[in-house]
Amino acid sequence: MSSLKSLTTLSVRLLTKRKSTMKTLTQAYYVTFFVLASTQSWKGVAGADDFRYLTGYAGLGLSGIHHQFTEYTPDLSTVQMDNTIESACGTGFWLFYDATNYAMDSISCSWHLVNHCGNWSTYCQNMVSSLRYAGSPHGLNNNYYNLYEGTSFRGEEFRGDEDAAQLGDLDLAVSSLIVTGQAAWTFYTGLDFTGATVCVYADETTTNSGIDLDFARIENLSELGLPDNSIRSVARGCFSERVVGAAPRSHAGEEHVHDAN
């Protein structure tokens, strides 16, 4: 049995659309909701090490049918869990979407945790149709980057742990990113490590029993002072006078609401 902490955070990106005769305006909002977990001990199931996993349950309080995820799952109907998850245990930085294949127009939620269990916010219950994690497939806190086609970590992805002189299908198509681990990454607006630059360090940490998950989440490239769809190459290390992030800080107890356009 694992004793639950009383508080963790669940991040929600709410996508709303407003239409006019002249244009369609899409607004995405990023909100951090608090997930209150019972102080009683639930049977089951938080792990004791840094193994990345997410066990989703169809009921509150870790009840009902359940499934353990360790890999990207673009369609939860393949494991009979589509639109069913209400509570979970897990470790890692997990991303959830209300459409299959991490769709660009989906509503998304995220949970960054280390060996924690809890009920999900009502905004994210019974809505997940696809899920994936951010970070290295080889270790929870390995140095790694994930680049996403859409804001709020939606759409296609380019990821790695080494320098990339070009970004393949995501060339001039990156709108958000996550870095994990303690190394810095420099992002360039030109191919082959040229153009304008920005250096990104992890600036948040989730920790439990001596196990750390360091990360930085960039919902929109404007947070880096870069135009949308401008990143074309990436290098490990800090090679820019413009630096984002510093010593990792705990995210616990923080609430954020901002326009992610």
DSSP 34-91: EEE--SSEESS---SSS--EEEEEEETTTEEEEEEE-S-BS-GGGGT-TTT--EEEEE
Query: Distance between the two ends of the chain, CA-based, in angstroms?
Result: 42
Residue 223, classed as helix, strand or coil, is helix
User: CB neighbours (10 Å) of residue 7?
Assistant: 13
Residue 224, classed as helix, strand or coil, is helix
For residues 47 and 140, the answer to whether their CB atoms sit within 8 Å is no
- DSSP state letter for 4: P
The pLDDT value recorded for residue 36 is 32
For residues 202 and 182, the answer to whether their CB atoms sit within 8 Å is yes
The pLDDT value recorded for residue 253 is 27
Residue 169, classed as helix, strand or coil, is helix
- Residue 84: which CATH number? 2.60.20.10
Where b means 16+ CB within 10 Å and e means fewer, 84-105 reads bbbbbbbbbbbbbbbbbebbbe
Residues of the domain holding 216: 2-259
Per-residue confidence in pLDDT tens, the chain, 261 aa: 443 333 344 444 443 333 332 222 233 333 333 333 332 334 344 444 689 999 999 999 999 999 999 999 999 999 999 999 999 999 999 999 999 999 999 999 999 999 999 999 999 999 999 999 999 999 999 999 999 999 999 999 999 999 999 999 999 999 999 999 999 999 999 999 999 999 999 999 999 999 999 999 999 999 999 999 999 999 999 999 999 987 454 443 232 222 333
Name the domain count of the chain. 1
Question: Rounded to the nearest 5°, which phi and psi values hold at 76?
Answer: -70, -15
The pLDDT value recorded for residue 129 is 98
The pLDDT value recorded for residue 50 is 84
Question: Which residue carries 């960054």 as its tokens?
Answer: 112
Give me 106's structure tokens. 């989906």
